[in-house]
Structure 1
Amino acid sequence: MVAEAGVPQLLAVARAGDGDAFGRLVGPLRDELRAYCYRMLGSVHDAEDAVQDTLDRAWRSLDRFEDRGSIRPWLYRIATNRALTIIERRGRRELPTDLSPQGAPLVETAWLGPYPDRLMGWTAQLSPEAEVIARESVELAFVAALQHLSASHRAVLLLRDVLGYPASEVADLLDTTVAGVNSALQRARKVVAELHSEPSQRRTLAALGDAAQQEVARRYLTAWQAGDLETIVAMLTEDARFSMPPLTTWYAGRDQIRGFLVDAVLGYRWRFLPTWANGQLAFGTYMWSDDRAAYVPAGLDVLTLRGRQVAEVVSFLDADFPAFGLPAELTGDDPAR
């Protein structure tokens, strides 16, 4: 929870027209609002737009805010309404990867975007238990599962189970009843539980420990950079999946993935830089370009681990590398020489 010491004073000054005071009032909540909107919308870009619109609307209507000791619920009400409006306007969107136990895509296209771990600095202000829930709730599989819920059910699940609002407050935020909130929550939990079958990556990584994580990362990037197809395939689980948003092509199982990787691994020269996205191990992947005489971005690979093996790779082909602390390109000598 964000500390709100001095809020009454800041609120009074902000209501008098002081933009700096308003910025100090809402600034500590911006990161968590962005994470909430990302879970609702599945896109960092859309989440940024929703948060900016939320703060703009809050500033313009600050005189109508009923001060009940915290501005946080009011901002979440506005953010929820903005997210619901965005979802309604864009219509049904589709998922990047398969979440079904049988291994068949639920919808045959991809759109979910990755979330930079650097934007999760707000979790340091939470209790250890709340931080675990917050980080697990931005994992790719969970966020993808949320997109199968109606917009209002997403909001109920996030506000109740992730953010910890009581049913009465959620009912107030969504202009519904407590009974309606409880019913929606039960249905939302059931759908997400059926779709989100992979173990939490945060708990998987914690069980592995730092040394084992580093070893997995080292083996994976070394194999790609060396063109060692056999090691890459050996690191996959038998039921591993590989997808490349925004392409609709996907592969399931070692044999299919091997068939795809023969050309991808052996036909190009690669450099990998480790990073983190959605609380998961990730790599900025760079392919050698003769035209630019440099390694250029090819995709942000986000890995789902099961023990020391890779259960899923989602390679976001249009990821914004600098947002993940990755350089726009890697210069160096022609690797063929």
Structure 2
Amino acid sequence: MDGTLDGRIGPMVEDGGVSEERLLADAQKGDEAAFALLVKRHRGDLYAHCYRMLGSVQDAEDALQESLLGAWRGLAGFEGRSSLRTWLYRVATHACLRLSSRRPRRMLSSDHGPARSDVHDLGDPVPGPVWLDPLPDDLPAEEEPDPAAAYLRRESVELAFVAALQQLPGTQRAVLILREVLGFTAAEVAGILDTTPASVNSAMQRARAALQQRRSQQAELAALGAGGRRALVDAFVTAWERADVPALLDLLTEDARFTMPPLPAWFDGREDVGRFLAERVFATQWRLVPIAANGQPGFACHQYDGERFSLGAVNVLSLRDGRISWIAAFIDPQVTRYFSVPGKLSR
């Protein structure tokens, strides 16, 4: 598979309008180019599925690569008893379940320990693949002409939703995603997971109960409107770059959180967040570049190093009633490297 799976996710290939049936027939005869065209139509959605399942960009890439290899090796045996889409999700879901069984569950700062009040004791970085990753909005995804479907796509990768998914056992997580996000029937999910529709429905009930408190960021952003979102982003950038703590605090909810994996410390409540910003974060200058991650507003944060501004963090904002309820800062270079932003900015 030198051509089809070259790179982490495989090259993008134009399909030229060839039917899926023709591509499938050619791929089953060993045509790698036909296989590349065949999976191109599903790759973005499969990638997002792996991210929801695993809560990690790197793990999602690993699972997708394993899925594509598995699909290629097993394609000759695909007999068409289900749609190709269903079969590909079967391959990808099992790849994710295998990977998640070998790696620790991805977590948030609040899962690791209680909030701190001492802004000068941030603890040592917690190593290993244990933290939830943000998902850059510019990573591969299929174009979705249906606004409702596009809304659901963004909602299904929101940071808090993906974090909540990681709290579920693997099978429940898979059932919820396959049923509610991807729209498979209970019978189809039972076939994907080698179980029964009754078991699927039972797992679905338990998963729904665990996630019923989630708050849609897409609904929050829609309530703000384009103008309100732009105003919030502009106000945040201006206050942060001026180190204007009072102005920043005016943008926060009373119970706002600030997290910063891989450091274990996190701060809960506007007062402690304000002290952390004033005494630690703004000890140096910053420049912010607005980005989007997990369908939410975010920023590439560049810290002054004495000569230039170097990328030091990616911040993702969660909102509630028009204010910021969570600043999720990610300071691991292995995470920030996935974002297509300059590593350096001049003064």
Query: TM-score normalized by structure 1?
Result: 0.89
**Alpha carbons of 1:123 and 1:249: their partners in 2 closer, same or farther (altered >3 Å)?**
farther
**Worse overlay, 5-14 or 172-181:** 5-14
Secondary structure in 2 matching 1:141:
helix
Indicate yes or no: 2:166 matched with 1:147.
yes
Query: What is the letter of the counterpart of residue 111 of structure 1?
Result: W
2:322 alignment counterpart: 308
Note if contact 1:97-1:314 (Cα within 8 Å) is conserved in structure 2. no
> Alignment partner for residue 177 of structure 1, among 174, 196, 211?
196
Residue 121 of structure 1 and its aligned partner are, at CA, apart by: 3.8
**Alpha carbons of 1:240 and 1:123: their partners in 2 closer, same or farther (altered >3 Å)?**
farther
2:288 alignment counterpart: 272
1:168 alignment counterpart: 187
1:325 alignment counterpart: 340
1:191 alignment counterpart: 210
Unaligned runs of 5+ in 2: 1-14, 116-122
1:124 alignment counterpart: 144
1:63 alignment counterpart: 76
Task: Determine what percentage of the aligned residue pairs are the same residue.
Answer: 44
Residue 264 of structure 1 and its aligned partner are, at CA, apart by: 2.9
Q: Whole-Å Cα distance in 1 between the matches of residues 178 and 311 of structure 2?
A: 36
2:5 alignment counterpart: none
> Alignment partner for residue 114 of structure 1, among 126, 129, 134?
134
> Alignment partner for residue 264 of structure 2, among 248, 262, 266?
248
| CA-based RMSD | 2.1
2:4 alignment counterpart: none
Residue 324 of structure 1 and its aligned partner are, at CA, apart by: 2.8
**Alpha carbons of 1:216 and 1:262: their partners in 2 closer, same or farther (altered >3 Å)?**
same
> Alignment partner for residue 278 of structure 2, among 259, 262, 283?
262
Q: Whole-Å Cα distance in 2 between the matches of residues 265 and 303 of structure 1?
A: 17
Q: Whole-Å Cα distance in 1 between the matches of residues 295 and 114 of structure 2?
A: 25
Residue 87 of structure 1 and its aligned partner are, at CA, apart by: 0.9
Secondary structure in 2 matching 1:327:
coil
Q: Whole-Å Cα distance in 2 between the matches of residues 171 and 247 of structure 1?
A: 40
Unaligned runs of 5+ in 1: 333-337
- Cα offsets for 1:180-220 (capped at 9, x unmatched): 000000000001114x2xx3111111121111111111111
**Alpha carbons of 1:159 and 1:281: their partners in 2 closer, same or farther (altered >3 Å)?**
same
- Cα offsets for 1:274-331 (capped at 9, x unmatched): 00000000000010002xx111111100001123311101001125445332111112
Note if contact 1:237-1:254 (Cα within 8 Å) is conserved in structure 2. yes
Secondary structure in 1 matching 2:133:
coil
Note if contact 2:47-2:140 (Cα within 8 Å) is conserved in structure 1. no
Note if contact 1:275-1:284 (Cα within 8 Å) is conserved in structure 2. yes
Query: What is the letter of the counterpart of residue 181 of structure 1?
Result: V
Residue 149 of structure 1 and its aligned partner are, at CA, apart by: 0.3
> Alignment partner for residue 242 of structure 2, among 217, 222, 226?
226
Note if contact 1:276-1:324 (Cα within 8 Å) is conserved in structure 2. no
Note if contact 1:50-1:82 (Cα within 8 Å) is conserved in structure 2. yes
Secondary structure in 2 matching 1:220:
helix
Note if contact 1:229-1:265 (Cα within 8 Å) is conserved in structure 2. no
Query: What is the letter of the counterpart of residue 96 of structure 1?
Result: L
Query: What is the letter of the counterpart of residue 130 of structure 1?
Result: A
Q: Whole-Å Cα distance in 2 between the matches of residues 295 and 25 of structure 1?
A: 43
Residue 82 of structure 1 and its aligned partner are, at CA, apart by: 0.6
Indicate yes or no: 2:50 matched with 1:34.
no
Secondary structure in 2 matching 1:113:
coil
Secondary structure in 2 matching 1:314:
strand
Query: TM-score normalized by structure 2?
Result: 0.87
Residue 132 of structure 1 and its aligned partner are, at CA, apart by: 1.9
**Worse overlay, 297-306 or 319-328:** 319-328
